[in-house]
Amino acid sequence: MSKKIIGIFSGKGGVGKTTVASNLAVVLAKSGKKVTIVDCNLTASHLNFHFNFHLTPLTLNQVLKGEAEIEDVIYKFENLNIIPASLDPYETMGIDISKLSKVLKRHVKSQDYILLDTAPGFGKEALEIMEICDEAIIVSTPDIQAITDIIRGKRILEDSSVKVLGIVLNKVTGKKFEFTKKEVEALTDLPVLTEIPFSYKFLESLALRIPLVLYHEKSLPSLKFYKLASHITQEKIFPKLGISDKIKLLLSLKLKRI
Ligand SMILES: Nc1ncnc2c1ncn2[C@@H]1O[C@H](COP(=O)(O)OP(=O)(O)O)[C@@H](O)[C@H]1O
Ligand SMILES: [Mg+2]
């Protein structure tokens, strides 16, 4: 498999990149793929909080500074590999993110997918990360600011060699003032891969530090990550649903309780 390093980008912050990256990584790993997720948001690293650990002693920062080996900073969440970044702001000094490709090289060979969770924006840092990606997913909320940031950043993406798979539209409520999938596609000229509804379950799952696909496994938002994983792998990946799960899902859709 050649297309395996996937960057998760956004124009605007807080749209759900780390949430999408974490849940997608868990689904891919659950389906038997060898997956590593890397926290490339060195100035505001949050990946640890989405899993049940934080304050890891060694991080990507030490590897980029030449003070540790990549194998020293791979933490396990079941069969998923997580490479966290430091929470200490002083540890971002003197770090060159362009070294990421070199330090990851050996590890990439052993994995099916490497997901890179990035800092928001299409500035220098994002560009460096884009350089090492085979494919990119853009996460956005359906509002004017986030969509404008994508339109602004699109030329930068087009100039890089990365293949943009499309947009994950997140925190969708379906309210009239939101851009619809069709409008987002027309404005950005990119396909919307999936729409993830706004759900307080994401906030609960973050507070408990369990990715939503494990915390609220048989829910509509969870199924959206299976859809995304199926799109990426070109394989059918879905959770086992019994008849009562299906009825519950249908009712939650009808009653708009997601
Ligand atoms: N679909 C959603 N519905 C409700 N809250 C969400 C959803 N997706 C993410 N969130 C919440 O939004 C906040 C920002 O998400 P995060 O993934 O950290 O964004 P980013 O990485 O883009 O900064 C978190 O509190 C997260 O739990
Ligand atoms: Mg983030």
Tell whether ligand 1 has an atom less than 6 A from the beta carbon of residue 216: no
Domain boundaries, the chain: 5-254
CB neighbours of residue 26 within 10 Å: 26
Tell which CATH architecture fits domain 5-254.
Answer: 3-Layer(aba) Sandwich (3.40)
The ranges of the chain with pLDDT < 50 are 1
- Which ligand lies nearest the alpha carbon of 85? 2
Dist CA 27 CA 162 (whole Å): 23
> In whole angstroms, what is the distance from residue 46 CA to residue 258 CA?
25
Contact (CB, 8 A) for 118 and 13: no
Write down the pLDDT at residue 56: 82
Ligand 2 centroid from CA 255, angstroms: 31
Beta bridge partners, 166, equal 137
Q: What ligand is nearest to the CA atom of residue 139?
A: 1
Ligand nearest 194 Cα, by number?
A: 1
Whose CA is closest to atom 14 on ligand 1?
Answer: 14
pLDDT the model gives residue 1? 46
Looking from the CA of residue 170, the nearest atom of ligand 1 is 1
Residues in the chain: 258
To the question of pTM greater than 0.75 for the whole model, the response is yes
Ligand 1 atom nearest the C-alpha of 206 is 27
In this structure, the residue with its CA closest to atom 19 of ligand 1 is: 16
Does 199 contact ligand 1 (Cβ within 6 A)? yes
* CA separation for the pair 147, 258 (Å, rounded): 24
DSSP output for 206-233:
HHHT--HHHHTTTSHHHHHHHHHHHHHH
Question: Can you state the angle between helices 100-108 and 124-132, rounded to 10 degrees?
Answer: 30
**Ligand 1 pocket, 12 CB below 6 A?**
no
248 CA → ligand 2 middle, Å: 31
